[in-house]
Structure 1
Amino acid sequence: MTHIVFDAYPGYDGVDCNPICNRPIVVTFQGKSVEVTVTDDCVACGNNELQLSPAAFEQLAAESEGLIDVSWSWAN
C-alpha cells in the first residue's frame, strides 16, 4: 500500500502495528480482480499505487506489461 494511505490511516501512530495491516483489498485491472492482503507500506509508491506480489500481479496482467493502472477498494 502506498505510504501516503498507509501513514494517514486512522489509528496509526507511526510506531505500533498499523490497523491497515492484514486488511483485505480488491485490486482490479481491465475487468480482472484479485483479493490481496495489505502487509506493509511502499515508500517508493505514489499517491494511489500498490506494490503487488508477483502471484497477485500475474492474475491481473502479464509481467511483461510492467506498471499497470489498477483501481482498488476495501474488501467486504
Structure 2
Amino acid sequence: MISDVQEHERRLSSRDRGLVLVGEPTWADVQRRRAEYAAWSDEVLELDTSAHAPGEIAETLIALLEQR
C-alpha cells in the first residue's frame, strides 16, 4: 500500500518491467481497478511503503510472523 497518491503515481509512471506483450498499467487503469475491488472482510495488514524504509517493513513482517 502507498498512502501517498502522488508517490504511487510517480512509481507507476517510472516503472518498466519489460512486459512487452502486456505493457504497464496506466494511472487510469489503477484507479479503475481500485474502484472495482470489494472491501476485504478478513483482517488486513497494510504496510505503507511511502512512509517506511524497506528494512523497517521487513522487520515489521518478521515480528508479525514470529507471533504466529
**TM-score using structure 2 length:** 0.22
Name the structure with the higher strand share: 1
Name the structure with the higher helix share: 2
**TM-score using structure 1 length:** 0.20
Q: Which has the higher contact order (CA 8 A, sep 6+)?
A: 2
